[in-house]
């Protein structure tokens, strides 16, 4: 079986094909290019000659096959992206890099649907039955579908060396996340808008800031990160300013690192009962000495190491490899047991089901309606 994973990154869309858990094909396309013409990505997907494709899944959804979708645009914009057409249009007009990903993703989902590709869309962490309900209260972003995919890859690789409990920290261009795996099951997660500031995102928002700002929309989630203080959208330049102590960039980058360290300790000590093994992945791990800097912020005894790659992988991101493993497992391939153990086929509901604030009640109902009306057999 040839299973393809599509990871919709802020900088690039990565594509990976696996056969029997081994990478046999990889490709990377700039997100801006996909946003201008999603046909470029669809053509690449078709050229890979895959039996099944795990499509870009945004904030996640219970396992949903392309054949069960009845309104692809609504499914993509309202369910996978928790957005509206107006928010996407405004973000594209302003050239917001995060919203450009949304625009590209929505168009790709539509194109795969029209092309009747054997595609499947997958959950995020908050939808998994293995995560205790108490950890989901007032949480949406416990790790989006791409972060979940990284945890899937980490679980696959850890099993090979007899490790079943660990945390995985994913440090990306836009967002970071920490996910906890206990006895081979995902039990907790702190996603990009919950963990702390990232390079792009403001991270968790002080309620006073939200009240003072007023009228915030989807595109504001992609602003307020370290890049604002560093005056650049280049991670290497921002890191150089951090190393040289140039303010205010140094403090902002320090806040990003410290937030990741806090998240690791929280997951490892509280959710995993003292586990101190951490795998680190993502684009930022390629920055010189970043992992060493992260280790300095952690208590003594933590084992921190870069997440490995599947056999045959050379250039693809971890999330794309994980997406491909999920597709392979859901289609009955060699990763089937892994995916079932992780509870992915049993995911149910929407990502707003555990939000208690009364102001979100109508939004929650709109999401449930959009999901039920855009997919046959919605798993509410």
Give residue 181's pLDDT.
98
Q: Indicate the pLDDT class of residue 220, thresholds 50, 70 and 90.
A: confident
Dihedral in degrees, nearest 10, Cα atoms 112, 201, 283, 144: -50
Residue 214, pLDDT score = 85
Residues of the chain above pLDDT 90, percent: 82
Higher pLDDT, 255 or 217: 255
Distance from the Cα of residue 332 to its chain's centroid:
23
Task: Please indicate, yes or no, if residue 286 is contained in any of the structural domains.
Answer: yes
Could you tell me what percent of the chain has a pLDDT over 70? 100
Residue 299 DSSP class: P
**Residue 278 to residue 282: CA distance in whole angstroms:** 13
* pLDDT tier for residue 27 given thresholds of 50, 70 and 90: very high
Mean pLDDT calculated for residue range 291-296: 96
For residue 129, the domain's CATH number is 3.30.420.40
Average pLDDT taken over every residue of the chain: 94
What pLDDT does 165 receive?
98
380: in domain? no
Would you say residue 226 lies in a domain?
A: yes
261 inside domain: yes
**Has residue 251 got a pLDDT over 90?**
yes
pLDDT tens digits, one per residue of 234-244: 999 999 999 99
Task: Look at phi and psi of residue 206 and say left if phi exceeds 0, alpha if psi is from -120 to 50, else beta.
Answer: beta
Q: Can you give the pLDDT at residue 10?
A: 75
Do residues 125 and 177 touch, judged by C-beta distance below 8 A? no
Mean pLDDT across 213-228: 87
Q: Is the pLDDT of residue 99 over 90?
A: no
φ and ψ of 182, to 5 deg: -125, 125
d(CA 169, CA 70): 36
Q: What is the DSSP letter of 326?
A: H
379 falls within a domain: no
pLDDT for the residue 202: 93
Q: Where are the beta strands (DSSP E) in the chain?
A: 3-8, 12-19, 22-30, 52-54, 64-65, 119-121, 166-171, 176-182, 185-190, 277-281, 303-306
Please name every residue paired with 14 in a beta bridge, in sequence order, or none if there are none.
7, 28
Q: Using 50, 70 and 90 to split pLDDT, how confident is the model at 256?
A: very high
Average pLDDT for 15-36: 91
Task: Check whether 39 has a pLDDT greater than 90.
Answer: no
107-116, 145-154, 251-260, 368-377: least confidently modelled range: 107-116
* Distance from C-alpha of 55 to C-alpha of 327, rounded to nearest angstrom: 9
Mean pLDDT in residue range 115-120:
94
Domain count, the chain: 1
Residue 101: predicted pLDDT: 80
- Domain span including residue 64: 3-374
Phi, psi values for residue 167, rounded to 5°: -115, 145
The answer to the question of residue 320 being in a domain is yes
């Amino acid at each position: 079986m040839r299973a393809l994973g599509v990871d919709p990154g802020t900088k690039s869309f990565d594509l990976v094909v696996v056969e029997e858990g081994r990478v046999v094909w990889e490709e990377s396309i700039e997100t801006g290019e996909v946003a201008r013409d999603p046909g470029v990505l669809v053509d690449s997907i078709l050229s890979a000659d895959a039996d099944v494709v795990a499509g870009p899944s945004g904030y996640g959804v219970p396992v949903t096959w392309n054949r069960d979708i009845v309104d692809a645009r609504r499914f993509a914009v309202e369910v996978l992206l928790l957005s509206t057409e107006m928010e996407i249009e405004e973000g594209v007009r302003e050239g917001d890099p995060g919203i450009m990903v949304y625009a590209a993703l929505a168009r790709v989902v539509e194109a795969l649907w029209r092309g009747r590709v054997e595609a499947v869309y997958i959950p995020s962490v908050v939808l998994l039955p293995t995560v205790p309900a108490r950890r989901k209260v007032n949480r949406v972003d416990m790790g989006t579908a791409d972060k979940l995919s990284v945890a899937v890859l980490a679980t696959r690789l850890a099993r090979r060396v007899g490790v079943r409990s660990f945390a995985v920290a994913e440090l990306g261009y836009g967002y970071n996340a920490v996910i906890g795996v206990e006895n081979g099951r995902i039990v907790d997660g702190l996603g990009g808008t919950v963990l702390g500031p990232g390079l792009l995102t403001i991270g968790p928002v002080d309620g006073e800031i939200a009240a003072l700002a007023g009228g915030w929309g989807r595109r504001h989630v992609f602003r307020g990160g370290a890049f604002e203080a560093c005056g650049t959208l280049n991670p290497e330049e921002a890191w150089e300013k951090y190393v040289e102590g140039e303010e205010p960039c140094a403090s902002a980058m320090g806040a990003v690192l410290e937030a990741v360290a806090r998240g690791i300790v929280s997951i490892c000590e509280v959710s995993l009962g003292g586990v101190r093994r951490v795998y680190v992945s993502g684009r930022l791990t390629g920055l010189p000495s970043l992992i060493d800097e992260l280790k300095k912020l952690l208590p003594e005894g933590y084992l921190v190491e870069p997440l490995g790659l599947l056999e045959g992988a050379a250039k693809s991101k971890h999330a794309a490899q994980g997406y491909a493993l999920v597709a392979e497992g859901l289609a009955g391939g060699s990763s089937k047991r892994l995916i079932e153990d992780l509870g992915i086929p049993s995911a149910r509901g929407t990502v707003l089901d555990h939000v208690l604030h009364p102001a979100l009640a109508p939004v929650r109902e709109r999401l449930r309606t959009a999901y039920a009306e855009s997919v046959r057999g919605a798993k509410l």
